[in-house]
Every structure is written in structure tokens, then in C-alpha cells.
Amino acid sequence: MSAVEGFELGGRRWGSRLIVGTGGFRSMDDLERALTASGTEIVTVALRRVDTLTSNSVIDVIDRLGLFVLPNTAGCYTARDAVRTARLAREAFETDWIKLEVIGDDRTLLPDAVELVTAAEELVADGFTVLPYTTDDPVLARRLEELGCAAVMPLGSPIGSGAGIRNRYNLRIVVEAASVPVILDAGIGTASDATMAMELGCSGVLLASAISRAEDPVLMARAMRSAVEAGHAARRAGRIPERLYAEASTPVEGLPDLG
């Protein structure tokens, strides 16, 4: 069995289970080299007011690498703003896909569940493929799936915190209950966090800061690629149960009497 196995998201087949955000890179060159090293196929970008268009923009880099643009609603605090941003993104990129973020608090950047559900309902009704950034609350995840989201994307820990997966138990429950892909979104600090997400049964991992703010973003991108592949392979391979005491792997019979 091949270690790397694709997955379906939003009605399309993808080879890489790593989705990469574009925020925080120190240069366009770092961004381009890191995206290549990560092996990602889907890249997320934000929308902001522009006064002039720069020549080597983030979109030029993504297009040059032939990657899929996943616009996000970063910076939106209300359902109304998020829906409007999604519609702008649809026009800007000619895509129905939207990474829906509706933030409830500027210190934790945690999602606002009420606004998130409202926005998701409206966008699903409007024909969008909605990928919502959510908390690790299994009930909220179920609600998002039921209303027609193409995936659920629970956080591991707050955005940019690098604190990894704070509640593995909740994440396991989210994964167990979901019939759409679960993609861990936010909180990844290093490779083992990404591996853990995949071992817990996530279909993919979305991260940005862990790569973009690493001392060597290209090397970290490569590490994340391996980490996601390793975690996914380990999940499929079926790990041994965790025990408190030792379990000998060598038979006791046939031991020579050396006394």
C-alpha cells in the first residue's frame, strides 16, 4: 500500500493533505520556495483594499506554481462582512470555494460560533463550497456539517500560537462523528503537531505561521510535508494499543539456561 493516499475535498481529488497559508513570509521568494517544498496543492489568501497592484504579487506566485487559490475571510468579525468578503473573493478568483473565518475576539482570534453558523448557512445557500474555521467543539462541527459545509476545520489551539493540539479528545470526537473531511486549522507549531493531527484521523492540516515564521521556512515546509504523510500513514497502518506495562516482543520459551 502506498504511504501517500489522496483525498476528496469539495468534490475534487487532491494528492497533498497539506494546505498552506501565505501569511507571515518574509519575502515572496521564501513563499515560493516554501510552497514548492511543502508539496501543497491548495493555498489560502486574504483580500484587502489595494491602492496599487504590485508586480510579483502573491497571486502571481500561486499561479506560476499552478496551485489552487483558496480565498479566506480573514479579518471578518460578523457574518455580514464574511459573506460580503466571500462574494468579493468569488468575483476576484472565479471560485466558489471559501475558507470561512469569522473571528469573535481579537486577543484569542477564536471563532464566533453564532456568526460562523449564520455566515455558513448563507454561503451554502448561495452555492459556495464552504470550509469553516471552527473551534474543536464536536456539536458545532456537527452543525456545520449538517448545514452543508464541505469540511470542518477545527483549531488545535489559537491562530499563530504554535501550541499544537490542546484537546486531542475533542478532536477525536469531531473526527469520529464527521462524514466530511476534518482539517486541522490553526495552532500547529512544529512537525509533530501535524503528525499528531493526522494520527488522530484528520484528513488534512492547514498551517501558515509554523512554516512562514520558522527560521528556515523551506526546511520547515519539507518537514511538514513529511509529517503529514507520516501521520496519515501511521493512522492507516493501525497503531498498537497504548499499555501501562511492557509487552515483550520476544518469546520467553527457548531461553537458554545460562545459570
Residues paired with 133 in a beta bridge: 153
How near is the Cβ of 42 to other proteins at its closest, in Å?
12
Q: Are 159 and 24 in contact (CB under 8 A)?
A: no
Q: Which is nearer to other proteins, 103 or 228 (CB)?
A: 103
**Closer by beta carbon to other proteins, 5 or else 60:** 60
Contact by Cβ (8 Å): 147, 180: no
Closest approach, Cβ 242 to other proteins, in A, equals 30
CA distances to 76, 84, 103 from 126, rounded to whole Å, are 18, 12, 21
DSSP single-letter state for residue 131: E
Active-site residue, from 90, 99, 225, 232: 99
136 is catalytic: no
Closer residue to other proteins (CB): 69 or 150? 69
Helix or strand or coil: residue 95? Answer: coil
Smallest distance, other proteins to C-beta of residue 243, A: 36
Q: How far is the CB of 208 from other proteins (least distance, A)?
A: 5
Computed over its alpha carbons, how large is the radius of gyration of the chain? Answer: 20
Query: Residue holding cell 456539536?
Result: 139
Note the residues at the interface with other proteins (CB under 8 A).
21-25, 31, 44-53, 57-59, 63, 69, 71-72, 74, 84, 87-93, 99, 101, 103, 109, 133, 159-160, 185-186, 206-209
Residues with a known catalytic role: 99
